[in-house]
Structure 1
Amino acid sequence: MPTSRPVSSARRPLSLVGAGALTLAAALVAFPETVGLGGARPWVWIVPFRVPVGLGLAATAGVALLAGVRWRSLLPTALGLGLVAGVHGGTTVVRGLGEGHLPPARPGDVTVAGANLYVARADPSSVADLVLRDGIDVLALPETDRVLADRVAELVGARDGTPPTVFWTADGDPADPERMGTALLVSPRLGEYRSTGEVTGGLKAVVTARPVDGTGPVLVAAHTAAPIPRWLPAWRAETAAVVDFCERTPGVLLAGDLNATLDHPALAGLQHCAEAATAGGSGARGTWPADRSALLGAHIDHTLGDRRAWVPVGSRVVEVEGSDHRAVVARWRPVQE
């Protein structure tokens, strides 16, 4: 009577091929941008949620490991999936899952924040409290109308002495009385600024401003299109345009809702443009949706800066009452010559 050994030996190559295929598939789910798929369907909607994806891979590896006690051909699959889950988890830990921190400000530091105000539903007092508590110099407010932006500035000025300058650009038709837009609030501590309109909006709005006397950072408040099916071409173009402006503009500091993570195409290959969240240990903490645990969300709101001029020394992800996004705050320090 033949033994089972030849059968087991014959199946071993097949099990290894299957394990390799599943490991490759898992790697593509976890790191699609390594092969240029981060902006393609369906990966564009999977990659923002790193923690759920990592937990799913780890759970699948655990099930395969338990099953491998009886069916040893599943052990290579468990090993491969576990390896991908481990690398995925390591990436998440390095980026940071905590709320983050800001070191004490030094002379010359600039504190930048971005807070999506959820079609002007956020509480202006909560936003003003954030500005005053963290000493924010530059505030990007996507999804706001001019009335709410002015109200935030008024509340800050009432407690801080002088209100910040408000720049605002509409997202859509200027004739629409209920149109939303993006606001950029600039503290008088930075001097006088003027709006320049250097980056034009599409489905969403971008505000740019430069110092009148030429001394100080170029400032940008950005809101790009969301990567929903009908807006994917606009999303790709707008996120690329915003990041390109950051890459080629000396001394720029930028904040806002970019609707993209570090694993999406526009942000995956940053060179001159630095992303601040990992400096404070909050780069993997979800900024959207705010009604779910930050550990399970997507970090799509960012602060960026020209690394040739600025070093991110800390960041925080914080709640904003009434918004569906959490705010991001970063402290930037001038590069020492």
Structure 2
Amino acid sequence: MSAPPHSDPATEPIPRRPRRRGRPRWFWALVLGLAAAGAVLPDLLGADRYFPFAQLIAFRPLSVGAVAVVAVLAALVTALHRRFWPVPVLLALIALIGAALVLPRTMADPAPAGSRTLKVLALNVYEGEADVDSLAALIRAEDPDIVSVPEAGGRYAGELEELISPLGYSVESSVSHRTADVRGNTVAWSDRLGEVRTRVDENTRFHAIEATGGGLGDLRFVAFHSVAPVPSSVGQWREDLGQVQQWCSAGGPAVVAGDFNATLDHSVFRNAMAGCSDAGETTGNGLAGTWPTFAPEWMGPQIDHVLSNQGIAAESFDVHLVPGTDHRAIVTTLRLP
């Protein structure tokens, strides 16, 4: 019996290394998942307090739609390459979480009770460039009880007063006519409210103005404007929004109306308005964009708000275009308990 022949090492096959096919799919799942989460969910970890997430989160409704579309495309790829499945699964999960945070704003709360109403109009007039005749016409048509006009100083307030004083309105600005309109907030109120008093609040960069007394009773109405969260002003933006707490969590009833440069997707804004409800959200109009006017209403973020506390709730919410400004005017009727 002969011994088995010795194998020649030179002719032995080189063993193959097993293919690591899982790496690419998990790599893309991680990359796309992080990008989607950064656009849709940065507020869950407080990242929206900083640049660039403070800007990205304002467009969460659009981001949710975009991530959902990418998830569908990834699912189609998975039909051909099944190992790609982690990508559509992760993207779909992020889109579902984002949708759960956004869609409730399209559902109205039950109609508020209360026998008295307060009709509020708010419009950022873009550095005093909004057509003052058109704003006066809107006031004439809507007949609000009180009006908040951010970026309107003494100059613009004077022009507006000439037009609406015959309609029975008084007007007051937080800054004089010698100060640029962009620095001011203006409040106008109907004579129906009687002897209203005003006070300038200098705790924000754009001085807010408060109206109290008369037909407002113990209610404090605030015309408010925050700086925009551009990279150089994100810190000031957080400080401005923080001042909203003094009204929403105050002992007495309050309504704060104007341009907050923040949406309900910003954790900074949600924390500041604790104790208040938002007129757009409670009426099911929380996704009606108020800026910029060149974009369709469904596309832009809602950064203009009417907030109220202590059982004061909105029963209506509408937006209107006024020439000369990049913001839409909002008109809401509040029910007072």
Q: Deviations over 1:52-101 (max 9, x none)?
A: 3123212221221222122222222112212322343454333239xx9x
Q: Please, which runs of 5 or more residues in structure 1 have no aligned partner?
A: none
Partner Cα distance (1:15, 1:149) in 2:
60
| Shift in alpha-carbon separation, 1:93–1:266, aligned structure 2, 3 A | same
- 3-state secondary structure, aligned to 2:141: helix
- The residue that corresponds to 1:209 in the other structure is 211
Task: Give 1:121's match in structure 2, choosing from 126, 129, 138.
Answer: 129
- The residue that corresponds to 1:324 in the other structure is 326
Partner Cα distance (2:188, 2:320) in 1:
18
- 3-state secondary structure, aligned to 1:330: strand
Partner Cα distance (1:305, 1:166) in 2:
22
Residue identity matched to 2:133: S
Partner Cα distance (1:243, 1:280) in 2:
22
| Shift in alpha-carbon separation, 1:249–1:259, aligned structure 2, 3 A | farther
Partner Cα distance (1:273, 1:122) in 2:
29
- The residue that corresponds to 1:245 in the other structure is 247
Task: Give 1:268's match in structure 2, choosing from 267, 270, 291.
Answer: 270
Partner Cα distance (2:216, 2:261) in 1:
31
Q: Deviations over 1:181-226 (max 9, x none)?
A: 11011112222111123x3244322111211588242110001111
Kept in 2: contact 1:205–1:224 (CA 8 A):
no
- The residue that corresponds to 1:302 in the other structure is 305
Kept in 2: contact 1:51–1:295 (CA 8 A):
no
- The residue that corresponds to 1:189 in the other structure is 192
Task: Give 1:54's match in structure 2, choosing from 64, 81, 88.
Answer: 64
Kept in 2: contact 1:278–1:315 (CA 8 A):
no
- The residue that corresponds to 1:72 in the other structure is 82
RMSD: 3.0
- The residue that corresponds to 2:117 in the other structure is 109
Q: Please, which runs of 5 or more residues in structure 2 have no aligned partner?
A: 1-12
| Shift in alpha-carbon separation, 1:263–1:297, aligned structure 2, 3 A | same
Alignment of 1:88-99 (within 5 A): 88-96=98-106
Moved more, 240-249 or 183-192: 240-249
Task: Give 1:311's match in structure 2, choosing from 302, 307, 313.
Answer: 313
Q: Deviations over 1:152-195 (max 9, x none)?
A: 3433343x3x2x2212012xxx6945454110111122221111
- The residue that corresponds to 1:200 in the other structure is 202
Alignment of 1:152-163 (within 5 A): 152-158=160-166, 160=167, 162=168
Shift of 1:273: 1.1
Residue identity matched to 2:280: A
Partner Cα distance (1:125, 1:134) in 2:
14
Kept in 2: contact 1:196–1:209 (CA 8 A):
yes
Q: Deviations over 1:260-310 (max 9, x none)?
A: 11122332234311111122332112211111122221211110011x241
Residue identity matched to 1:167: E
Identity %: 28
Task: Give 1:26's match in structure 2, choosing from 32, 36, 41.
Answer: 36
Residue identity matched to 1:79: V
Partner Cα distance (1:26, 1:283) in 2:
22
Moved more, 187-196 or 104-113: 104-113
